[in-house]
């Protein structure tokens, strides 16, 4: 496997614009609008059908599926859509939002993973740790402070993510100051991103649906890492622009969608810091 | 019936500001916030009550009702509110979102149309065609490419829309590059709008609730066409302003609401292209 | 009890930034995203868990709870979370949104108040009056025109709010042109705010979750009044900035979140008009 280059990231990005993949999102009420808008900004197309009686049929017309555990009320639809997506060989992303602070959500997540086979599980590091150890690691939906990764612990954490990916036979994407993405063998560290992303709701949920778009054009570890890279790059571009206009977090949220819809190859080349660490 | 003039459109617009109609929206989780905000921007007032035990009572205090089939979980509330609205002679708009790609949603829509009598059905052309033929015409919630109307097929499509309006004894508004609006006799073509509207979620849903506001002040074909004209004009104004600030789709979404809240008569005069084609 | 000073307001504000309280919101689909974003903008952290089987556990990890009656479908979760929050001595805010125009929602609200003990009930004046008299006072979710308070009726209305607070043994915050906040003994009048706040959806809901943050650092009448003051100040700052850029209501909504995330002590000092009236 080659290192990810800006060329490769841009090829995947262009493939999304060309294919215009329809991404079926079963996701929570808090950020569902942002999820739809980021997919459109990326050149993909969202559909949000969560009725158990239509979830499987809707998935048939789509290219990938994203199940966000924040939609606790739509568990049945996730199972129906997930099973059909598997039969059709669609990429499936599971986002265990809130798993760090709710045993009910962990139970729901394990039950979902028992019934469907995701291509990728994406959460913040506290959520990934909570699943790996089946125990609470944080309250609420944000990562615990100690899980906001810095230099020293990076290798150790990367190995934890790799082992969990190996155990689950799927790609794991653990978001944080540095995102760690592994398929159980290799691990990518994505150094892109901005602390502003944690100051708006939905950064994680949007990252998950963007993964749905990337994996629908190429269902590989490289593609998952590229997706996290693009999200991080756009997070940086949005911070830059928000500072320019002296905006706050409201402006930042808008600039993040703008950055996705206006992304240029030169920006990817200049900013990408997606590194294969083992 | 006279051609629609900018004067007529502005009179209806002013009537909305004066009456401040309360529009009862039973609508989907994806775009419900945008729907509320566009109604407020237009000088109307939204209320979003979807509990089956309060839907009818809430409708009593309102001027019109909008049922968006994206809210599959609120079907019972739509029936209860729709029946009460009919008794009270309120305008009722039905938006069959997703009907193009889900047989379940078409079934739900036909069942709703069996139980309630809308003043207007508004969807994109793929959705309208799917209802007219009871078959899938597209995946997801966006119009199929071939349904993005251009010159040649316009008359043929207008006739399809007219016949469906005649059959259903209601106004049909089919959105696309050109919107087609018919009451079964006459057809208006609305040439306003921008391709940017398809790059954000909610343009269609917002058009439906705006129709709820227009039809509450005058429940006619002319009023429906005027509503589509205003939405399209605001879509153009928002594109213009977004380009000025070199914004992306996030900015466009904000500018669209801004354009509605800041609409001036001179803009309607300059931009409106609402044409009676037969 | 001392008058509220800008120093006091700022101390509470700083305490939120330092404690970063996790606020559990069980709230409606219309404005849930705005509620999450304003809490993040204020330095607090939101979590929105509404499944009855996890509501109590999630509340355990939080500092306060906000129950918004717009989430009619989540009544069971409100009761479960509210009981646990009471045991843990957490601040609980109830927002009776829509109580003015729906007897069902008033019934739901009374049932909730029978089962849980809030620290504060916050609604617009029409909603508070509807609860105080158990009768309809307005349609929809906005305050009736006559309840948009002006000079003359202020003392009379303040006494109504005080009596209702005394009766319910809780803090009542009634929003309007002037907010009135009482614990049954004293009453604060908050003269901050902007009429633009009524031109976007969610101002009231956001005020309720902000109260959740303030009361989690100090559960007092003073803290509730300070919260209303901060919300009003940010409403004014957002109007000012929106005018500067000639924006409409879409821009205003973004500027409101920006104002919260960028609030400075000097702005509180200059603008605060929180007055103890008896």
Q: pLDDT tens-digit profile of B31-47?
A: 999 999 999 999 999 99
DSSP B28: -
Contact criterion met (CB below 8 Å) for A42 and A68: no
Confidence of residue A136 (pLDDT cuts 50, 70, 90): confident
**Residue B5: how many other CB atoms lie within 10 Å:** 14
| Closest Cβ–Cβ partner in B33, B58, B258 for C247 | B258
Interchain contact, B103 vs A62, CB within 8 Å: no
- CB < 8 Å to B260, chain C: 248-249
**Measured distance CA(A206)–CA(A50) in Å, rounded:** 18
Across chain C, which has 278 residues, the per-10-residue mean pLDDT values are 84 98 98 98 97 96 97 97 98 96 94 96 96 86 72 85 97 96 98 98 98 98 98 98 98 98 98 95
Chain C interface, mutation test: which of B18, B19, B30, B32, most C Cβ atoms within 10 Å? B32
Q: Count A/B contacts: CB-CB distance under 8 Å.
A: 97
The rounded radius of gyration (Å) of the Cα atoms in chain A is 17
Cα torsion at B202, B207, B210, B215 (round to 10°)?
-150
List of long-range contacts for A50-53, beta carbons under 8 Å, 24+ apart: A50/A26, A50/A74, A50/A77, A50/B72, A50/B73, A51/A77, A51/B72, A51/B73, A51/B104, A52/A76, A52/A77, A52/A80, A53/B104
- How far from the centroid of its chain's Cα atoms is residue B214's Cα? 10
Q: What is the pLDDT of residue A3?
A: 72
Distance from the Cα of C9 to chain B's closest Cα (Å) equals: 31
- Write down the pTM of the prediction: 0.97
Beta strands B274-276 and C120-124 are: unpaired
Distances from the Cα of C213 to the Cα of C17, C25, C87, C216, angstroms: 10, 11, 19, 5
- CB < 8 Å to A196, chain C: none
Q: How far apart are the first and last CA of chain A?
A: 11
Indicate the SS3 state at residue B275.
strand
Residue of B nearest to C201 (CA): B37
- How far from the centroid of its chain's Cα atoms is residue B213's Cα? 10
Interchain contact, C260 vs A254, CB within 8 Å: no
Give the residue-averaged pLDDT of B82-87: 98
Contact criterion met (CB below 8 Å) for A194 and A141: no
**Measured distance CA(C233)–CA(C241) in Å, rounded:** 12
Tokens of C176: 């309007």
Helix (H) or strand (E) holding C175: strand C171-175
Distances from the Cα of C175 to the Cα of A73, C94, C210, C224, angstroms: 33, 14, 13, 12
Interchain contact, A61 vs B249, CB within 8 Å: no
- CB < 8 Å to B141, chain A: 46-48
Best CA proximity match to C21, nearest among C90, C94, C81: C90
Interchain contact, C53 vs A139, CB within 8 Å: no
- CB < 8 Å to C202, chain B: 33, 36
Give the residue-averaged pLDDT of A4-14: 96
**Measured distance CA(B4)–CA(B275) in Å, rounded:** 7
Contact criterion met (CB below 8 Å) for A178 and A189: yes
Indicate the SS3 state at residue B19.
helix
Contact criterion met (CB below 8 Å) for A249 and C257: yes
Cβ neighbourhood burial of A53 (10 Å; 0-12, 13-18, 19+): middle
What value, to the nearest 5°, has the Cα angle with vertex A167 and ends A163 and A168?
120
**Measured distance CA(C170)–CA(C183) in Å, rounded:** 6
**Measured distance CA(C255)–CA(B58) in Å, rounded:** 32
Give the residue-averaged pLDDT of B55-60: 96
**Measured distance CA(A42)–CA(A262) in Å, rounded:** 9
- What share of chain A in percent tops pLDDT 70? 97
Quote the mean pLDDT of chain B: 95
- What share of chain B in percent tops pLDDT 70? 97
Q: What is the pLDDT of residue C150?
A: 52
Chain C neighbours, 3+ Cβ pairs < 8 A: A, B
Interchain contact, C103 vs B57, CB within 8 Å: yes
Q: What are phi and psi of B121, to 5 degrees?
A: -115, 125
Interchain contact, B140 vs A22, CB within 8 Å: yes
Q: What is the pLDDT of residue A119?
A: 98
**Measured distance CA(A226)–CA(A217) in Å, rounded:** 12
Residues 6+ apart with CB under 8 A from C225: C4, C181, C188, C190, C274
Chain A interface, mutation test: which of C21, C38, C237, C258, most A Cβ atoms within 10 Å? C258
Tokens of A64: 């990938």
Burial pattern A133-154, b for ≥16 Cβ within 10 A else e, equals eeebbbbbbbbbeebbbeeeeb
Distance from the Cα of C30 to chain A's closest Cα (Å) equals: 9
At which residue do the structure tokens 């609409």 appear? B263
Cβ neighbourhood burial of C185 (10 Å; 0-12, 13-18, 19+): exposed
pLDDT tens figures, B207-218 = 999 999 999 999
Tokens of A223: 């593609």
Best CA proximity match to B164, nearest among B203, B105, B136, B123: B123
Cβ neighbourhood burial of B156 (10 Å; 0-12, 13-18, 19+): exposed
* Residues paired with C100 in a beta bridge: none
Helix (H) or strand (E) holding B25: strand B22-26
Tokens of A36: 């739809």
Q: What is the pLDDT of residue C1?
A: 45
**Residue B117: how many other CB atoms lie within 10 Å:** 15
Indicate the SS3 state at residue A179.
strand
Q: Put the strands of the sheet holding B91-95 in their side by side order.
A: B45-47, B22-26, B64-68, B91-95, B120-124, B171-175, B179-182, B187-190, B274-276
Residue B1 pLDDT exceeds 50: no
- CB < 8 Å to A257, chain B: 248-250, 253
Contact criterion met (CB below 8 Å) for A214 and A224: yes
């Amino acid at each position: 496997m080659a290192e990810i280059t800006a060329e490769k990231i841009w090829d995947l990005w262009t493939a999304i614009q060309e294919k215009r993949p329809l991404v079926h999102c079963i996701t929570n009420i808090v950020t569902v609008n942002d999820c739809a808008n980021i997919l459109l900004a990326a050149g993909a197309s969202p559909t949000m059908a969560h009725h158990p009686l239509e979830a499987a049929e809707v998935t048939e017309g789509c290219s990938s599926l994203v199940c966000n555990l924040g939609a606790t009320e739509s568990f049945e639809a996730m199972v129906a859509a997930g099973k059909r997506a598997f039969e059709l060989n669609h990429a499936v992303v599971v986002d265990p939002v809130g798993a760090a602070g709710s045993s009910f959500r962990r139970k729901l997540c394990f039950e979902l993973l028992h019934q469907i086979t995701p291509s990728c599980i994406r959460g913040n590091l506290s959520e990934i740790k909570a699943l790996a150890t089946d125990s609470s690691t944080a309250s609420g939906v944000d990562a615990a402070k100690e899980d906001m990764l810095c230099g020293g612990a990076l290798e150790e954490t990367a190995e934890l993510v790799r082992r969990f990916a190996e155990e689950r036979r799927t790609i794991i994407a653990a978001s944080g100051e540095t995102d760690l993405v592994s398929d159980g063998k290799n691990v990518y560290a994505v150094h892109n991103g901005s602390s502003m992303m944690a100051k708006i709701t939905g950064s994680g949920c949007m990252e998950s649906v963007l993964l749905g778009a990337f994996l629908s054009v190429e269902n590989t570890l490289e593609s998952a890492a590229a997706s996290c890279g693009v999200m991080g790059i756009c997070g940086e571009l949005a911070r830059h622009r928000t500072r320019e206009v002296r905006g706050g977090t409201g402006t930042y949220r808008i600039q993040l969608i703008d950055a996705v819809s206006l992304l240029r190859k030169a920006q990817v080349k200049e900013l990408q810091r997606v590194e294969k660490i083992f």
